[in-house]
C-alpha cells in the first residue's frame, strides 16, 4: 500500500497491481494524452483543409448553385414522367397489394396455389432442382446466396446511376428504366391475380382435415439459418414486411438482373450472365423459388425487351459503334440490339 500527499495535505491511498509500477502508470497516461492530442490535431487539420478548399472553390460552387435551377428546368421532364409511369404503377400495386385485393373482392390470400408450379416444373425439368440444392446446407453457401439477395433491392437504381455516370451509355437510361418498369408491372399484376406459393411454403406447410393451415416455416426460408448465426432477424424483417406473401411466379429476383443483362450491362455481358446464374442458384438453394419461377422471370424480361425493340417504345434504342461511341438505333438496324 502506498500513500501520496495531495495539495490539501491529506493522503490518498494507491493500490498498485503486482508488476505495475509508477513508471508504467505514467507512461500509460502520457501515451493516452499524446493520442488525444494527435486526434485533435488531425481534426483541426481536416477542418483547415476543408475551409481552404471551400475558399478556393467558393466562386465555382456559387456559380454551380446559381445554374442549378436552369439545369433542372432543362431536364427532359416529359420523358422522365413517361418512363416513370410503369415503375410507379408497380410500386403502388405492390405497396397496396392487400388493399387492392380487398377492394376487388379477391380477399386475403390464405390458400395460395401449391400445385401448378411443382407439377409444371417436374414436367419441364423432370425433377425439383431446389430440392437437390437445398439438401446440402452450409454457412458458406448461405453467405454466398445472401449477397445477391441483399443487392436485389437497390440494384435497379444502382444500375441507373451507373448508366448516368457513363457518358457512352447514358442514352440507355430511358430504354432500360422503361423495360424494368414494365417487367415489374406485369409481374405484380400476375401475382395479384394468381398468387403462387414458393417451395418453402409448399414443402413445409401442414394442413388439418378441413384444409386449414396448422404449421409452416418462417418466410425467410433458408436464410433463417443465417439469421440465427448473426443473431439478428435481418431476412425475417425483410420478408415479414413484404405485402406480397405469395408471389413466387415469375421471379423478380431473377428478372431484374436479366433486364440489366439485356440493357448494356456493367462490366460486360459475361459478368451480367454470372449474376443471373448466381441469384438463380441462390433462389433455388434458399427455397425461395422454383426453377420454373426463374425461367418465368427470364422469359418475361426477354419478352418485354423484344416488344420494346421490335414493336414499339417511346424511347429510341441505341447501340455501340466500332469506335465505342454511342449512336441511336434506327429501324433498319434494330435487330443488332442485344
Higher pLDDT, 4 or 228: 228
**Whole-structure pTM over 0.75, yes or no?**
no
> Domain locations in the chain?
2-65, 77-336
Neighbours of 19 (CB within 10 A): 6
Distance CA 227, CA 308 (A): 41
Q: Give the DSSP letter of residue 322.
A: T
Tens digits of residue pLDDT in 34-85: 667 677 777 788 888 777 776 777 667 676 777 767 777 777 788 889 999 9
Q: Which cell goes with 282?
A: 441462390
Residue 319 is predicted with a pLDDT of 54
Tens digits of residue pLDDT in 279-315: 999 999 999 999 999 999 999 999 999 999 998 888 8
Distance CA 289, CA 233 (A): 21
Q: SS3 for 5?
A: strand
Tens digits of residue pLDDT in 196-223: 999 999 888 888 887 777 888 877 888 8
Cβ–Cβ under 8 Å, residues 90 and 181? yes
Q: Which cell goes with 24?
A: 508504467
Distance CA 72, CA 268 (A): 32
Cβ–Cβ under 8 Å, residues 90 and 185? yes
Amino acid at each position: 500500500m502506498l500513500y501520496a500527499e495531495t495539495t490539501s495535505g491529506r493522503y490518498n491511498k494507491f493500490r498498485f497491481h503486482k508488476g505495475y509500477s509508477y513508471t508504467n502508470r505514467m507512461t500509460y497516461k502520457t501515451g493516452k494524452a499524446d493520442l488525444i492530442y494527435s486526434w485533435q490535431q488531425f481534426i483541426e487539420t481536416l477542418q483547415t483543409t476543408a475551409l481552404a478548399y471551400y475558399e478556393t472553390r467558393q466562386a465555382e460552387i456559387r456559380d454551380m448553385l446559381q445554374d442549378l435551377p436552369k439545369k433542372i428546368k432543362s431536364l427532359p421532364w416529359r420523358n422522365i414522367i413517361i418512363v416513370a409511369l410503369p415503375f410507379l404503377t408497380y410500386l403502388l400495386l405492390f405497396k397496396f397489394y392487400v388493399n387492392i385485393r380487398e377492394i376487388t373482392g379477391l380477399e386475403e390470400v390464405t390458400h395460395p396455389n401449391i400445385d401448378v408450379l411443382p407439377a409444371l416444373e417436374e414436367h419441364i425439368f423432370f425433377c425439383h432442382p431446389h430440392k437437390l440444392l437445398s439438401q446440402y446446407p452450409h454457412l458458406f453457401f448461405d453467405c454466398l446466396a445472401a449477397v445477391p439477395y441483399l443487392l436485389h433491392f437497390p440494384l435497379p437504381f444502382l444500375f441507373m446511376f451507373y448508366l448516368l455516370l457513363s457518358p457512352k451509355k447514358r442514352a440507355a437510361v430511358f430504354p432500360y428504366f422503361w423495360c424494368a418498369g414494365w417487367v415489374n408491372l406485369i409481374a405484380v399484376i400476375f401475382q395479384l391475380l394468381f398468387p403462387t406459393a414458393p417451395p418453402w411454403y409448399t414443402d413445409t406447410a401442414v394442413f388439418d382435415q378441413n384444409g386449414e393451415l396448422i404449421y409452416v416455416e418462417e418466410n425467410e426460408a433458408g436464410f433463417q439459418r443465417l439469421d440465427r448465426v448473426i443473431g439478428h432477424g435481418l431476412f425475417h424483417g425483410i420478408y415479414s414486411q413484404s405485402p406480397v406473401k405469395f408471389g413466387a411466379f415469375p421471379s423478380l429476383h431473377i428478372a431484374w438482373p436479366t433486364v440489366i443483362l439485356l440493357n448494356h450491362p456493367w462490366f460486360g455481358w459475361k459478368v451480367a450472365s454470372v449474376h443471373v446464374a448466381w441469384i438463380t442458384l441462390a433462389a433455388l438453394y434458399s427455397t425461395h423459388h422454383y426453377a420454373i419461377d426463374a425461367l418465368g422471370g427470364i422469359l418475361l424480361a426477354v419478352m418485354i425487351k423484344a416488344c420494346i425493340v421490335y414493336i414499339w417504345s417511346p424511347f429510341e434504342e441505341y447501340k455501340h459503334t466500332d469506335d465505342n461511341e454511342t449512336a441511336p438505333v434506327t429501324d433498319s438496324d434494330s435487330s443488332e440490339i442485344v
